[in-house]
Chain A
Amino acid sequence: MNMVNDILQFLINALSLGGLYALMALGLALVYSILRLINFAYGELVMVGGYSLLVFGAGPLPWIIVALLSVLMAIVASLLLERVAFRPVRDASANTMLITSFAVSTLLQNGALLLVSPRTRAVRVPSFFIENVTVGGLLISKSNVLSLVVSLVTLAILTLFLRRTVLGSALRAAADDFVMTRLLGVRANQVIAAAFAISGFLAGLVALFWVGRTASVVPQIGLNPVLIAFVASVIGGMGSLAGAVAGGYLLGFLTVGLNTVLPQGLLDFRQAFLFGIVILLLLFRPQGLVSGMQSTERI
C-alpha cells in the first residue's frame, strides 16, 4: 500500500513537472524548427508573464483575468521581439541570430532590473496554488494536478491545431523545408509570427505555474525555464516538436527521480547531475531521442 502510494505520488509529481517542462521545450522548439533560432530570450517571455502577474495582480481584477492578461502580454512581447530584433537578422548566420537572442535576453533582464527592481517581488497567487488535497491517503498538491491537466490539454489542442488546420500544416511544413513552403505561396512572415505567438503563449502559460510555485518574481526568473527548455529540446532532437515534448517529460521524470534517489548531501548538485546525464545521453545519441528524417539532414 505504501509502495503503491509512493509510486502514485512519484507519477503525479513527475507528470506535472514533466508537463510544464514539455510546454517550455515546445515553445522553444517551435521557433527553432522554423527559423533555426535558439531563442535565449524565451526565458524573458516567462519573465514578462511573471511581471504582468505582478502588475495586473496589484489591482482588484480576479485572478483568472490577471492570468489571461499575463499570457497575452507574453504573446505580445514575443511578437514584438520577432519584429524588432529577429526579423532584421533572419537571413544572417545561425550564430548571429543566436547571439542576437542572447543580447535580447540580457537587454530584457537588465531592463527589468533597472525599471522594476533587482529584488524579489511577491506576487499574489490564488490559494489553490498552495493547497493540498488528500485522496485515499495520498497528499496531492492542487497546483500539481492543475499543471498536469493544463499541460495535457494544451498539448492536445496544439496537436489538433498542427494537424487539422492549414496554418498548422504550414507550420509543420515550414519546419521541414521553409523555402519550399514559401514556394507554395505560404507567407513567411505569417508562419514565423504564428510560431512566435504560440511560443509566447506557452511561455505565458508556464509563467503562471512557475510564478505560482514561489509566489514571487525576479528578473532572473526566466533562466531556469529556458535552460530546461534548451536541454529538453536537445534531448528530444533539436527541431522535432514531438521530441521536445518527450524530452520535457523525460527531464521531469529525471528531476523528480533525482530528488528521490539522491542523498541529502548531494541534493544541491541536482542540476549538475541532471545536465551531466544529458551530456552523457548526447554522447550516445548526438542527434537526440527523436531523430526524424529532417534533423539528421539538417545538422
Chain B
Amino acid sequence: MKVGQFRMWAHRYSTLIILLVPLALIALIADLSGQVVLQRIVIVLFINLILVAALQIFMGNSGVVSFGHIGFMGIGAYASALLSMTPEAKAAALRSGYQVVEQVQAPFILALLGGGAVAALVAAVVGFPLMRLSGAGAVIATFALLVIVHVVLIHWSEVTNGPRVIFGIKQFTTLWIAAVCGLLTIVGAYWFKETSLGLKLRASREDEHAAASIGINIIIVRWVAFILSAFVTGVAGGLWSHFITIFSPVAFYLSQTFLIVSMLIIGGLGSVSGAVVGTVVVTAIFEILRSVENAISMSGLLSGTLAGLTELVLATAMIVILILRPAGITGGQELRWPGKRFNSEMQGEHD
C-alpha cells in the first residue's frame, strides 16, 4: 500500500525529476569545473531554456504558432537594462535619452520583473487582436509583430541607442541565478499544463469548436497564456541582457527566433520535456558546430568566413527531424519513469 502510493507519487513527479536533476547536475559540473567558457555556455543554455519553455507555455498548449516571442525578449532585455543602469551609465550610453528614463534606477530583481512586466504589457495590448486569429493568420501576424518590435528597437534611439550597441549594464546574471530561474520555469511550465487555464487551452487546441461549445472563451484563455508567456520571455530577456551586458537590437530578430523555435520543434512542442530535450540537444549541436567552425577558421584551411555554417546545419537537422519525426524527439509526450501507465489521460498528448 505504501509502496503503491510511492509509485503513484514517483510516477506523477517522475517527469520533473527526470528533467530537473540532470539540468542541476549540468549547472553543478559547470560551476565546479571553474572553466569560464563552459560556464558561459551553460548560462546561455539556461536562458534559452527559459525562452523555449515560455514559448512552450503558449504555443505547446494552445497550438497557435508564435513567431513574435523574441520581440518580447528584446523588450525585456532593454526595459530591464534601462531600469538597472545607473543614471550616469545611461547618460553615457544613450545620446539623447528621456529624463524619466535616465533618472530611475532599480535593483536587479525589480529590473528583471519590470522587464517582464513591460513585455507582458505589450503582449496584452497587441495580443488581443492577435488571439482572434488562429492558424495561418496567427503565424503571419505574430511574425509581423516581431518586425514591428524590431523596427521600433532599431529606430527609437532615445531608449535603445538605435541600431548601435547599448553598454554600461552591470553583469548580475550568474550561473546559479540562470540555473535557478531555468529550473523554476520548468516547474512552472509543467504545473501550468495542469491548471484549469492550461487544461482549457489544451482543450481548445484539440478542438476549437468543441471547447467553445462547453463554454471556454478561447480568446481570453489564449490571451492570458500569451501574456504569461510574454512575461516569462521578458524576464529571460532581462537575464540575458544582464549577462551579455553589451548588445544591439539585431540580437532579437530572425536568428534568435529560428534558434528558439527550432529548439522547441526539435524537442517536440507538445510537452515541457520536449522544450528541455530540444534546448539541450540543439545547444549541444550548436556548440559542437561552433568549435568545428572555429577550428576550421583558425587552421586557415578555408579563406574567408564560415558565417552561416551553424545555421545551415541546424536547419538541415531540423528538416530531417521534421520529416522523420514530425512531433519532435519526444513526440510531444512528457518523459516518464518507465513502467505501466496508471490511467489513460496520460496518453492524451497527440498532436
Contacts and interface: CB of A to CB of B under 8 A. Distances in A.
Direct contact between the two chains A and B in their complex (CB within 8 A):
yes
Interface of A: 32, 36, 38, 85, 88-89, 92-96, 98-100, 102-104, 106-107, 109-111, 113-114, 118, 219, 223, 227, 230-231, 233-234, 238-239, 268-269, 271-272, 275-276, 278-280, 282-283, 286, 288, 299
B315 A104 contact: yes
A299 B322 contact: no
Interface in B302-330: 305-309, 311-312, 314-316, 318-319, 322-323, 326
A99 B263 CA distance: 11
B295 interface: no
A234 B141 CA distance: 8
A49 B229 CA distance: 39
B322 A118 contact: no
12 contacts: A100-B322, A107-B312, A109-B311, A114-B307, A227-B147, A231-B140, A268-B151, A268-B155, A271-B148, A272-B147, A278-B141, A282-B129
Contacts, number: 139
B135 A299 contact: yes
Given A98-B139, A279-B144, A88 B323 contact: yes
Nearest to A88: B323
B322 A110 contact: no
A92 B327 CA distance: 9
Contacts of B265: 99
B315 A231 contact: no
Contacts of A275: 144-145, 147-148
A238 B137 CA distance: 7
Contact of B126 (A85, A268, A279): A279
B144 A231 contact: yes
B130 interface: yes
A118 B311 CA distance: 14
A272 B126 CA distance: 13
B220 interface: no
B151 A272 contact: yes
Nearest to B65: A95
A272 B135 contact: no
B160 interface: no
B315 A227 contact: no
B136 A276 contact: no
B63 interface: yes
B258 A114 contact: no
Nearest to A84: B319
B290 interface: no
Contact of B316 (A95, A96, A107): A107
Contacts of B197: none
A88 B262 CA distance: 18
A272 B148 contact: yes
B277 to A, nearest CB: 16
Contacts of B175: none
A230 B148 contact: no
B192 interface: no
Interface string B228-250: 00000000000000000000000
A85 B141 CA distance: 24
B208 to A, nearest CB: 9
Given A99-B261, A110-B309, A92 B326 contact: yes
B305 to A, nearest CB: 7
B351 interface: yes
Contacts of A280: 129
A89 B135 contact: no
B46 to A, nearest CB: 24
B258 A234 contact: no
